[in-house]
A = this chain, B = another copy of it.
Amino acid sequence: MDIGGAGGGRGTRTARERLVVIGGDAAGMSAASQARRMRGPDELEIVAFERGDFTSYSACGIPYWIGGDVPDRDALIARTPEEHRSRGIDVRMRTEVTEIDVAAGRVRARDLDSGRETWTSYDKLVIATGARPVCPDMPGSGAPGVHGVQTLGDGELLLGSLAAADGGRDGRRAVVVGAGYIGVEMAEALIKRGYEVTVVNRGAEPMATLDPDMGRLVREGMEGLGITVVGGAEVTKVLTGDDGRVRAVATDDAEYPADVVVLGIGVRPETTLARAAGLPLGAYGGLLTDRAMRVRGQENIWAGGDCVEVLDLVSGQQRYVPLGTHANKHGQVIGTNAGGGYATFPGVVGTAVSKVCDLEIARTGLREKDARRVGLRFETVVVESTSRAGYYPGASPMTVKMLAERRTGRLLGVQIVGREGAAKRVDVAAVALTAGLTVEQMTALDLGYAPPFSPVWDPVLVAARKAAAKVRAGTP
């Protein structure tokens, strides 16, 4: 093992500082890019380690690549290693950091091809190690034809498997395990590729990030698209055929034949390195940071993206919300701070949008059970409205659920299920949550109105009116 590398260890340090970034995706490379914008190569050396083959890609886009909406893998890559290098960031691909030595201010990295290990010292460190998929611990999950969809590599393997299964047969069947965002988006992708799709989900209804009554609407919408949704069912094993490939998945009660299986059971923070280094982790296993995205208790280590927990501004508690949009914001904040500036990430309100074909799904803030968990009492309303004026062509139905705190009337959360124009309406509620508006205040919001865009009372306003009335009526 070498000591030194990357232009010299502590012993040879010049006045120039070195920023080391672990992880070459959204948070890490946003941080590196922003730090580079703040400080030139004369002042700051930036070294980024990435164990995979790609930098700065949109994992969120993988289902659309698989489904054929996005033509090829490279469309999902926002910036290649070469592009980063041309901006003065020393990206080391296929190089896995295996240890963080906080006391000495250095990281050990292994070149995955040569196996060679090197220590690299840092003045400032960014941990952006991302997430790892929840791997179901069941027999057969490693069989050919069973796929995760976390990385571009996963996507390529899945496409290969689909191409093999496509070989001339009709009635190809796919099973998606899990009905969260990844699960429902992959269901769309596989429907588009002509598969018969069955989604097997542990919860009674899909989209556990929604309340079950709204999840039911998602299930009905998915069933309307020809997707079979099996709820309350845990896949316990993958069954293989004589050729060793998957042929079905099994729950305790039933078997679901499958030419291809996609695992969409969610992710956990990838914090093995951080844990070994003694850095502070939260209840979800994510790194804990302050508002400037500095790892708690550390002056010169920042963390962001899918490996950190974030503050939920509505509940006041820590949450784990692995989303690309947060990762990018974290990177921006970290890069500014690591570059000598000042920026903060105040927290999230829990906004997420998704779709299955033309069915749009959105949520922000607290679900009923989230509110209960932090001791909040609330009123709930569910309203039916339309995306456009009722008389305007293309007006489509939309269901809006709204939670407001009792007595104060403060907005607590919104969930929307509908068609065109439904999902992004949740942004209004996201801003209202951030600002701490009450549902009564929301009734007067000056939202854009014209017949092609909204009924004269926007669906969010209709919900706010009903919620405000319920708060006024006042359950004791």
Which residues in A have some Cβ–Cβ distance to B below 8 Å? 26, 58, 60-61, 64, 69-70, 75-76, 181, 185, 323-326, 328-329, 332, 344-355, 362, 364, 389, 391-393, 421, 423-428, 430-435, 437, 441, 443-454, 456-458, 465
Assembled-state Cα–Cα distance A136/B76 (Å): 55
Q: Are A392 and B446 in contact, CB atoms less than 8 angstroms apart? A: no
Q: Are B448 and A353 in contact, CB atoms less than 8 angstroms apart? A: yes
Q: Which of B69, B428, B444 contacts A428 (CB 8 A)?
A: B428
Question: Could you pull out 21 A-B pairs where Cβ atoms are within 8 angstroms?
Answer: A60-B450, A61-B389, A64-B451, A64-B452, A185-B450, A325-B447, A345-B444, A349-B446, A350-B446, A355-B450, A364-B448, A423-B448, A423-B450, A424-B448, A424-B454, A425-B427, A428-B430, A431-B432, A434-B435, A434-B437, A435-B437
- Complex: chain B residue closest to A321, CB-CB: B446
How many Å from the CB of A243 to the closest CB on chain B? 35
Q: With A329-B444, A421-B424, A435-B435 in contact, is A391–B449 under 8 Å at CB?
A: no
Q: Are A69 and B449 in contact, CB atoms less than 8 angstroms apart? A: no
Assembled-state Cα–Cα distance A345/B441 (Å): 10
Q: With A69-B393, A457-B328 in contact, is A427–B450 under 8 Å at CB?
A: no
Q: Which of B354, B427, B452 contacts A355 (CB 8 A)?
A: B452
Given contacts A70-B393, A353-B449, A353-B454, 14 further A-B contacts (CB under 8 A): A64-B451, A344-B444, A350-B446, A353-B450, A355-B453, A426-B448, A427-B447, A430-B447, A431-B431, A431-B432, A431-B437, A434-B437, A434-B444, A435-B435
Q: With A435-B437, A456-B325 in contact, is A445–B424 under 8 Å at CB?
A: no
Q: Are B448 and A427 in contact, CB atoms less than 8 angstroms apart? A: yes
Assembled-state Cα–Cα distance A75/B392 (Å): 9
Q: Are A435 and B424 in contact, CB atoms less than 8 angstroms apart? A: no
Contact partners of A58 in chain B: CB under 8 A: 389, 391, 451, 456
Assembled-state Cα–Cα distance A448/B426 (Å): 7
Assembled-state Cα–Cα distance A56/B345 (Å): 47
Q: Are B70 and A446 in contact, CB atoms less than 8 angstroms apart? A: no
- Complex: chain B residue closest to A326, CB-CB: B446
Q: Are A446 and B61 in contact, CB atoms less than 8 angstroms apart? A: no
How many Å from the CB of A361 to the closest CB on chain B? 9
